Amino acid sequence: MTDQTIDLVPIGQTPPLGVVPQRMKAFVIRPERFGPPTESFQEEAMPVWDIAPDEVLVWVMAAGVNYNAIWAGLGQPVNILKSHGLPFHIAGSDASGVVWKVGSAVRNWKVGDEVVIHCNHLVEPGTSELQTIWGYETPDGSFAQITRVQGQQLLPKPKHLTWEEAASYGLTYFTAHRMLIDRAEIQPGEDVLVWGAGGGLGVFALQLCKVAGCRAIAVVSRPDKAELAMELGAYGVIDRNEFSDLQFRPPESPEQAKTRLDTTKAFGKRIWEILGEKKSVEVVFEHVGQRTFPASIWLASKFGRIVICGATTGYELTFDVRHLWMSQKRIIGSHFADADSAGRANKLVERGLVRPVMTECFAWDAIPEAHQRMYENKLHGTVSVLVGAPREGLKTFEETLAVQKG
- Of positions 24, 74, 309, 394, contacts ligand NAP by CB under 6 A: 309
Provide CB contacts within 8 A for 95, sequence distance 6+: 58, 60, 61, 62, 63, 64, 116, 117, 142, 147, 167, 170, 387
CB closer to ligand NAP, 57 vs 63: 63
CB closer to ligand NAP, 77 vs 276: 77
To the nearest whole angstrom, how small is the minimum distance from the Cβ of residue 102 to ligand NAP? Answer: 28
**Beta strands 120-122 and 131-133, pairing class:** antiparallel
Provide CB contacts within 8 A for 355, sequence distance 6+: 207, 349
CB closer to ligand NAP, 36 vs 310: 310
| 341, containing H or E segment | helix 339-350
Residue 325: CA count within 13 A, CB half-sphere? 3
Tell me how many residues contact ligand NAP (CB under 6 A): 27
Applying the rule CB under 6 A, the residues between 353 and 372 that interact with ligand NAP are none
Q: Are 212 and 244 in contact (CB under 8 A)?
A: no
3-state helix, strand, coil in the chain (%, to 5): 35, 25, 45
Applying the rule CB under 6 A, the residues between 183 and 202 that interact with ligand NAP are 195-196, 198-202
CB closer to ligand NAP, 298 vs 336: 336
To the nearest whole angstrom, how small is the minimum distance from the Cβ of residue 80 to ligand NAP? Answer: 14
- Of positions 9, 70, 106, 288, contacts ligand NAP by CB under 6 A: 288
As a whole number of angstroms, the distance between CA 184 and CA 284 comes to: 9
- Residue 260 lies near ligand NAP (rule: CB under 6 A): no
- Of positions 18, 310, 314, 343, contacts ligand NAP by CB under 6 A: 310
Provide CB contacts within 8 A for 39, sequence distance 6+: 33, 73
CB closer to ligand NAP, 77 vs 85: 77
- Residue 132 lies near ligand NAP (rule: CB under 6 A): no
To the nearest whole angstrom, how small is the minimum distance from the Cβ of residue 216 to ligand NAP? Answer: 14
Q: Are 33 and 337 in contact (CB under 8 A)?
A: no
Amino acid at 119: C
- Residue 143 lies near ligand NAP (rule: CB under 6 A): no
Q: What is the chain's length?
A: 406
- Residue 221 lies near ligand NAP (rule: CB under 6 A): yes
To the nearest whole angstrom, how small is the minimum distance from the Cβ of residue 307 to ligand NAP? Answer: 11
**Per-position b or e across 148-162, b if 16+ CB within 10 A of its CB:** bbbbbbbbbbbeebb
CB closer to ligand NAP, 25 vs 240: 240
Part in contact with ligand NAP (CB under 6 A); list of ranges 158-166, 251-259, 260-268, 309-317: 309-317
Part in contact with ligand NAP (CB under 6 A); list of ranges 46-54, 123-131, 153-161, 169-177: 169-177
| 204, containing H or E segment | helix 202-211
- Residue 314 lies near ligand NAP (rule: CB under 6 A): no
Collapsed DSSP state (helix, strand, coil) of residue 246: helix
CB closer to ligand NAP, 66 vs 280: 66
To the nearest whole angstrom, how small is the minimum distance from the Cβ of residue 82 to ligand NAP? Answer: 20
As a whole number of angstroms, the distance between CA 257 and CA 262 comes to: 9
| CB-closest chain residue to ligand NAP | 199
- Residue 280 lies near ligand NAP (rule: CB under 6 A): no
Distances (CA, A) of 404 to 13, 97, 339: 6, 15, 33
Q: Are 34 and 71 in contact (CB under 8 A)?
A: no
- Residue 296 lies near ligand NAP (rule: CB under 6 A): no
- Residue 336 lies near ligand NAP (rule: CB under 6 A): yes
- Chain positions contacting ligand NAP, by CB under 6 A: 171-172, 175, 195-196, 198-202, 219-222, 225, 240, 247, 287-288, 291-292, 309-310, 312-313, 335-336
